[in-house]
Structure 1
């Protein structure tokens, strides 16, 4: 039985290497998200919109169980507030299996798991949103949207999931299918609602190489999110260190979300922070960290002639999917060339403390005109 038939016919199916990577992304992001959200707010909600049966035939846990175990096993769990986990699955047989898997979990008064009756995301989104926000109007909500098909999660539904001021979405973007079928006749009828507009066409018209085009599709999707005033980033789930099978897209109202995303990305991809395959997760980088700050370095050089607060620089780094440790390294590299100088504080225990102010210079500023 082929993979497609297995997904269509069986209640439980085998996992694949991409699933392992995706779940690691979930785990690492949730570790940070839970630590920040569940120690700040009295309650939060995670909605798994395509929950599945909760287990794979080879024993790997499904996404709802991954979420629950991340909460239960978190090192800061004792300090956590209440987490509501809402699960939606379309098929009745998988709903039944998911309930069996949930029943095996250890009980916690701070973890409320609700497995809804069978239903589709498109039909149930308004109800899901009402349930997710019911505890308090501004409750933080993280939506996990990992559909089987493009048509199951049009951009209009993603936009609805971001209606709350503290809503976040983790979305699986099918960049491999987009690359393979984007030039097929009538496929545009699926593409436009999927992207929420026809801005995807630029990716089709550009470089046709797989990796480049898939990255262009991811960038185009994020452009749609940013047009809504959202922050966004991505992570490529690759096929044996080749081009991405799909991209996981983060959409958030706050840069704080990006501050959790970047550590996850750099932990799983220590060279570029952009993507990983199952066979590359434990591989040592060939290049170390000498080249990883190139985009950040270029962005910092653009500040030549100005003074910038640490908060601005840290925000810029987060938007480029870098961490503060990368920012400090880039600043030190620029300082060694005379292109960055800490204005304040005058005395500090470290070179680039939080709250500092940095003055930037251009290479031409260093030229001795008298020579």
Structure 2
């Protein structure tokens, strides 16, 4: 039952697949049409025209502010904006978290905002590991002194240290978590609190000592260039700010991202190939995430990381006839992807001619958005599933 409740809660939290506001959310769904009732047709037409005349709900929403940092990172710093981008499309990654930006929440939990009972199992495990590591260091020192004593090369100062070290190790052995089940709960609580605060002693400047909470979030949401450009060009949901004041339009962002790769603004640019692939699968309803963890370009989720593991791993390949694939590397990647129970998807991208690409870029009669749209429409994506041949499964 708990699993079903969590699944139901996740469906409510991640109900919106993209950070856009639809007309149906503001004006309501279109009315039903009954073929035998002429009034339903009239009412449907009136309601439809009314929705068209009104302004788009997305245009009334303030875009999310995304900052372009000096190192080329696209960062979101507002807590509400970070939460919105993650819950509505799983965009970006917390710089101090594995995926969703939960550093502040996890830190507040460790600072005992709800008492010692709020410690997670990971915190308890980490506490035990730290105690065992300290115990092993002291035990190693004791063993080193005992070895010198057996070899008769120990000095008087080391002999005194040996006796003190024996007492210290014996006391630590009694205090290890495995042998301390009958200790006082208050002492355990105090030890855990001391551990938590000693771990975060370098963060005392941003911790409210009375409420034991973090008053400033040190984490920000880092977006991939293809994610930032998709949110700006495809959804018009963000506003990219450079140098604290300059607002970048879609063409500025497009050129900047292309210049971060070898060759600059050319048809074979890696950023364009990746973005065409990213936009292709996003438009088909897939949740696309970075695949660097498995050595590939992207991962495809049916709904998102909270619901299931990724089903497919994508490798983007330039399909121009001159770039040969290293099949030794491909076999290695296929072995890794097969080991994590995913399908390896080879995406071949056909690029336009350089003359056509240059002609569109230099066409001053087109707007920035029309240029990008015309360029992207000249690319073609072909998907091929790569499977390993396992002799044991195919023999007669």
Which band: TM-score by shorter chain? under 0.3
More helix by share: 2
Q: TM-score scaled to structure 1, two decimals?
A: 0.26
Q: Which has the higher contact order (CA 8 A, sep 6+)?
A: 2
Q: TM-score scaled to structure 2, two decimals?
A: 0.25
Rg (Cα) greater in structure: 2
